[in-house]
Amino acid sequence: MDIRQKIIKRAVQEIEDGMYVNLGIGIPTLIANAIPEDYDVMLQSENGLLGIGAYPTEDEVDADLINAGKETVTAVKGASFFDNAESFAMIRGGHIDLAILGGMEVSENGDLANWMIPGKMVKGMGGAMDLVAGAKRVIVIMEHVNKNGESKVKKQCTLPLTGKAVVHRLITDLAVFDFTETGMELIEIAEGISLEEVQNKTEASFKISNLQMKYSD
């Protein structure tokens, strides 16, 4: 199983029946295909769709149906379409139960940087800043280290922030962390990964007083 699928398999466990969920651009969008079929979950996109389905087959592609990442999607039975302002009213009004977002960096304080790298062109900040402020719960999923082998779980974020102290849970290919009033806490380690490896690849300081289990591929 590749790293992304490993992360997605663990992240989908955070979704409960009956939730309204926003999936961020990148790895999170792949979660739409992994939600159990018997779950009544409504996926919301800030570009104006409530009721995103799985990625379309070749015969199902409709160029007018896209998610926030401009990927073609399907719509489930009962889906609704609306303008961008209405979509952000849902987010800012606290009607999204869970936002699962990608991350470039997460700090030990739960700060998130995920919208730009200085010097690289970006089309805009998207909806992440609204989501981290408006969603009832924010989970970030990302690879633990970058392409250079440097930790993305930092003492302090070095990239422009999306929000300060906004992350409730971080899921990587190595481990799962929670952010509480007493700091960052390691709660799970991936199967085949040692505590020593997590410590060596994590720049942030964390406690391990409530280590519960290993999650499997």
Q: Please pick, among 14, 37, 46, 197, the residue that the annotation labels catalytic.
A: 46
CA–CA separation, 104 and 118 (whole Å) = 12
Q: Distances from the Cα of 93 to the Cαs of 63, 86, 118, 134, 215, in angstroms?
A: 30, 10, 31, 7, 34
Question: Which residue from 93, 204, 122, 111 is spatially nearest to 163, judged by alpha carbons?
Answer: 111
CB 179 within 8 A of CB 133: no
Residue 46 is a catalytic residue? yes
Catalytic residues: 46
